Copies of this chain bind each other. A is one copy, B any other.
């Protein structure tokens, strides 16, 4: 293998595929990046942690085709620190490679390409096209609510549900649930579950690609492939049945409150400063006439915040872990939101003033009544 390439384009490609390199593995080959130079003057870079694989192609000038695996960390560090000039990369007989650029010359130890896991082909069962900005927003508004506890099974994943007229995403962790919906015609109904961690990585890669507005997603039974520009992201779908989330969403709520999202966000953030003891972040919301009064207390003091509301229903006192309410208010962008309550021990629903683009359910914390 021998090729010449531009430092910037190689460094950018390494940055993208490195997102699939895990530091947690004990398998040396998975700490590597597969370089494949082919006679059509293309270099394909691939990395995989077995759950997530990323492949990116860049234009290079190939003198001799071939392939080798190099340490992701060391190779990326070297390329990033080289000047923005032509870099010549040559494989020696023992998988080692030589990197030359102006007056710099590196020799680094490689591994045989044959040992690299096969990202594999996919049987195209279903193909959908998604608007990039829409996908980014839906992931951002949903994935934070998934469980981060790997022992909790399927709820580390986000449910992506293609229905006749909409695309829905759902995540929950037992304390809160996020549901987002977008109008979209789908030819076939389908439910898939993707790890929230992987969706967040995909969001980072999407954010770095500027040109393309549409992303193609190809599905088969066990895998999904996201195609964008010269990057192919292959990921393993999670297997199992997701919680029947529609059964959890409350049908009817007695108390409805319309409130400024930023006023409520700022007030709860301040109230949380005195809610850090015991890590439960307990705040109390008292819905009283035309206000919500937010209170919290600790050994260090206490706080009272008031925010004006438009109310439909009775007064109510209810306690929350402030983090779960703040998480919602931070990802939503509307100037006003609606909060719905039934009793002080039933979940709160946060939704838009109009439509059903999102619904968030947050479980309350029982508070003493004095």
Contacts and interface: CB of A to CB of B under 8 A. Distances in A.
Interface stretch (A104-112, A198-206, A345-353, A355-363): A104-112
A134 to B, nearest CB: 33
Interface string A260-296: 0000001101100110000000000000000000000
Interface string A96-123: 1000000111111100000000000000
Contact of A74 (B81, B104, B300): B300
A275 to B, nearest CB: 12
Count this chain's copies in the assembly. Answer: 2
A155 to B, nearest CB: 32
Given A109-B300, A299-B109, A270 B81 contact: yes
A199 to B, nearest CB: 31
Contacts of A274: 74, 106, 108
Contacts of A303: 104-107
Contact of A301 (B109, B267, B305, B306): B109
A299 B109 CA distance: 8
Contacts of A81: 266, 269-270, 273
A322 B208 CA distance: 34
A256 B144 CA distance: 59
Contact of A106 (B299, B301, B307): B301
Give the residue among A82, A83, A267, A300 with the most B Cβ atoms within 10 A.
A300
B300 A82 contact: no
A299 B96 CA distance: 12
B307 A108 contact: no
Nearest to A96: B301
Contacts of A299: 109
A309 to B, nearest CB: 12
Taking chain A's interface residues, is the majority helix, strand, or loop, or is none over half, making it mixed? mixed
A77 interface: yes
A267 B103 CA distance: 9
A301 B77 CA distance: 13
A53 B315 CA distance: 51
A78 interface: yes
A302 interface: yes
A369 B26 CA distance: 36
Given A77-B273, A78-B270, A81-B266, 10 more contacts: A74-B273, A74-B274, A81-B270, A96-B301, A103-B307, A105-B305, A106-B302, A106-B304, A108-B300, A109-B300
Interface of A: 71, 74, 77-78, 81-83, 96, 103-109, 266-267, 269-270, 273-274, 299-307
